[in-house]
A and B are shown apart, each in its own frame.
Chain A
């Protein structure tokens, strides 16, 4: 004979949850996801482009074809996260969102959000990935479509300025005529170096499939003295005669096997480099 399951298996004793409230813990795990989805949807819809100047929820709803009631709640939610400010019935960007989320800002981080959305999708597939193994990407698509735009956006928000300031202050920089940027990706460092030294020519060396992304930045900044060399720095020659060799945030870029190639490509001069924990190496002739 089976015992009937009891609604209160331990009588009136409340189960010990340790320090926390278990329901609150579960609810809390969703809070970051809600905030991220809110942010990502706002970027996808172009909310921060619309809200540089104050606009009403009705106006946003009409121009973006959104459900009017949901649009109003959406804008309220963005305001609750300090991504919009409400002035009467109108919403406008906060200083933060206007600087970092408005596509017309030079510091816009939407490409970083696009990358994070992609990574969020991996978490959506976590169970399947745990069973089948890591999701595999072609290197050139992964770098050119996701990583390089995100790194370029991040770089413009501070590390690019700090790096260029440090490098241009070096006495060798003004005398340099040819710079190599190994695995240069977006090429923003080289473009900035060439803008700071009118006698400098720069070469961005990266995978052939990455360089179309590089050329978009070169074209945008009209960097006529920056060229691209396709290749894999592990296997292909780097060239020679460089006065500066620069390397920043390269996958595998701190490989000892690369050191002799870098040395041989360099005039007696300077090498510099960084990585995601941002290690930059700058090599000069002696």
Chain B
């Protein structure tokens, strides 16, 4: 629940209002896109269960 997420704060950690979201983080798909732009090849996205996704990426050769 977004309200509960906002009832507490951690010193030095910036959270967004949406539950489980933090400042400076981008959505999963955007992060994977940025990996591709910054020297990685996203080779697989694995659904581990209903809530869990794993990105597997390889560092590109320089």
Identify the A interface with B (CB < 8 A): 119, 122-123, 126, 129, 134-139, 142-143, 158-159, 162-163, 166-167, 170, 234, 251-257, 259-260, 263, 266-286
Contacts and interface: CB of A to CB of B under 8 A. Distances in A.
B61 to A, nearest CB: 5
A284 B58 contact: yes
B4 A137 contact: no
A286 B4 contact: no
Contacts of B58: 269-270, 283-286
A251 B22 contact: yes
B59 A166 contact: no
A138 B54 contact: no
Contacts of B6: 134
Contacts of A126: 7
B48 A166 contact: yes
Interface of B: 4, 6-15, 20, 22-28, 31, 34-35, 38-41, 46, 48-49, 51-62
B52 A286 contact: no
A278 B28 CA distance: 10
A277 B11 CA distance: 23
Given A166-B48, A266-B59, A275-B20, A139 B12 contact: yes
Contacts of B51: 277-278
A252 B20 contact: no
Given A275-B20, A286-B60, A139 B11 contact: yes
A286 B42 CA distance: 11
B55 A272 contact: yes
A283 B59 contact: yes
Given A259-B35, A285-B59, 5 more contacts: A167-B54, A263-B38, A263-B59, A275-B25, A279-B28
